[in-house]
Amino acid sequence: MKKQKKDIKEIKARKTRRRILRVWVLFVLLVISFALLIVGIENGMVGYMPSLAELENPQNAVSSEVLAADGTLLGRYYVQDRSNSKFHEISPNIINALLATEDVRFYDHAGIDPVATIAIPFYVLMQKKRGSSTITQQLAKNLFPREKKSMLTLPFMKLKEWVLAVKLERNLTKREILTLYLNTVPFSDNVYGIKNASLTFFSKTPDKVSIDEAAVLVGMLKGNTIYNPRTHPKRALGRRNDVLGQMVKYNYITDAQYETLKAQPTPLDYHKIDYHDGLAPYFRQIVEQTVKDVCKKLKKPDGTHYDIYKDGLKIYTTIDMRMQRYGEAAVEEHLTTLQHQFLAQPGYVDGKVWARKGATQNILMTAIKSSDRYQMLRGQDMTEEDVLKEMAKPIKMKVFAWNKSRYKDTVMSPIDSIKYMKLFLQAGFMAMDPFTGEVKAWVGGIDHRFFMYDHVNVNTKRQVGSTIKPLLYSFAIDNGFSPCGIVSTHPQEFPEFLDHPYDAGGGDDGDIPMKTALAKSINNAALYILKQVGIEPFVDFAQKCGITSRLDPVPAIALGAADISLFEMLGAYTMFPNGGMHTEPFFLTKIEDKNGMLIRSFAAKQKELINRNTAFKMVKMMRGVVNGGTGSRLRYRYKIFNDAAGKTGTTNNQADAWFIGYTPQLLAGVWVGCDDRIFRFRTEKLGQGAAAALPIWAHFMKRVYADPATGINPEQKFVAPEGFDDCEADPSFYDVTSGQTDADEKPAPPTTRDDY
For 291-334, how does the pLDDT look when each residue is reduced to its tens digit (9 = 90+)? 999 999 988 888 889 999 888 899 999 999 999 999 999 999 99
- Could you read off the pLDDT of 190-219 as tens digits, one per residue? 888 898 889 889 988 899 999 999 999 999
CA distance 391 to 734: 58
CA distance 168 to 52: 9
Residue partners of 303: CB distance under 8 A and separation at least 6: none
Q: Region 118-146: what's the mean pLDDT?
A: 60
Contact status, residue 694 vs residue 598, Cβ threshold 8 Å:
no
- Measured from the Cβ of residue 623, the count of other Cβ atoms closer than 10 Å reads 22
Contact status, residue 389 vs residue 416, Cβ threshold 8 Å:
no
Name the phi and psi angles at 264, rounded to 5: -85, 150
Confidence of residue 29 (pLDDT cuts 50, 70, 90): low
Radius of gyration of the chain (CA): 36
- Measured from the Cβ of residue 245, the count of other Cβ atoms closer than 10 Å reads 16
| Residue 558 DSSP one-character state | G
CA distance 262 to 256: 10
Confidence of residue 714 (pLDDT cuts 50, 70, 90): very high
- Could you read off the pLDDT of 229-252 as tens digits, one per residue? 988 889 999 999 999 999 999 999
CA distance 267 to 265: 6
CA distance 149 to 528: 72
CA distance 224 to 230: 11
CA distance 381 to 366: 20
Q: Is the pLDDT of residue 3 over 80?
A: no
Single pTM value for the model: 0.75
Confidence of residue 745 (pLDDT cuts 50, 70, 90): very low
- Measured from the Cβ of residue 535, the count of other Cβ atoms closer than 10 Å reads 20
Confidence of residue 163 (pLDDT cuts 50, 70, 90): confident
Whole-number percent of the chain with pLDDT over 70:
83
Contact status, residue 81 vs residue 273, Cβ threshold 8 Å:
yes
**Angle of CA points 554, 559, 562, to nearest 5°:** 65
Residue partners of 242: CB distance under 8 A and separation at least 6: 101, 219
| Phi-psi map region of 280: left, alpha, beta (phi>0 left; psi -120 to 50 alpha) | left
pLDDT of residue 625: 96
Helix (H, G, I), strand (E, B) or coil at 582: strand
- Measured from the Cβ of residue 77, the count of other Cβ atoms closer than 10 Å reads 20
Type of residue found at 690: A
Residue partners of 27: CB distance under 8 A and separation at least 6: none
Q: Is 461 exposed, middle or buried (0-12, 13-18, 19+ CB in 10 A)?
A: middle
Q: Is the pLDDT of residue 713 over 80?
A: yes
CA distance 241 to 245: 6
pLDDT of residue 1: 61
CA distance 644 to 705: 12
CA atoms within 13 A on the CB side of 731: 0
CA distance 586 to 604: 6
Confidence of residue 736 (pLDDT cuts 50, 70, 90): very low
CA distance 432 to 595: 31
CA distance 447 to 528: 42
Name the phi and psi angles at 583, rounded to 5: -120, 120
| Residue 731 DSSP one-character state | T
CA distance 705 to 640: 10
pLDDT of residue 150: 46
Mean residue pLDDT of the chain comes to 86
| Cα distance from N-terminal residue to C-terminal residue, the chain | 123
Q: Is the pLDDT of residue 743 over 70?
A: no
Q: Where are the beta strands (DSSP E) in 102-226?
A: 186-187, 191-192
- Measured from the Cβ of residue 186, the count of other Cβ atoms closer than 10 Å reads 17
Helix (H, G, I), strand (E, B) or coil at 408: strand
- Could you read off the pLDDT of 366-381 as tens digits, one per residue? 999 998 889 888 888 8
Q: Is the pLDDT of residue 456 over 60?
A: yes
Tell me how far CA of residue 12 lies from CA of 1, 20, 41, 614, in angstroms: 17, 12, 42, 113
Residue partners of 594: CB distance under 8 A and separation at least 6: 62, 311, 312, 313, 314
Q: Is 661 exposed, middle or buried (0-12, 13-18, 19+ CB in 10 A)?
A: buried
| Phi-psi map region of 713: left, alpha, beta (phi>0 left; psi -120 to 50 alpha) | beta
CA distance 290 to 585: 14
| Residue 720 DSSP one-character state | P
CA-wise closest residue to 630 among 672, 661, 667, 665: 661
Confidence of residue 57 (pLDDT cuts 50, 70, 90): low
CA distance 274 to 278: 9
- Could you read off the pLDDT of 606-646 as tens digits, one per residue? 999 999 999 999 999 999 999 999 999 999 999 999 999 99
| Residue 688 DSSP one-character state | S
CA distance 229 to 145: 27
Q: Region 733-753: what's the mean pLDDT?
A: 44
Whole-number percent of the chain with pLDDT over 90:
60
CA-wise closest residue to 315 among 666, 48, 54, 588: 588
Residue partners of 56: CB distance under 8 A and separation at least 6: 171, 172
Residue partners of 57: CB distance under 8 A and separation at least 6: none
| Residue 463 DSSP one-character state | E
pLDDT of residue 140: 76
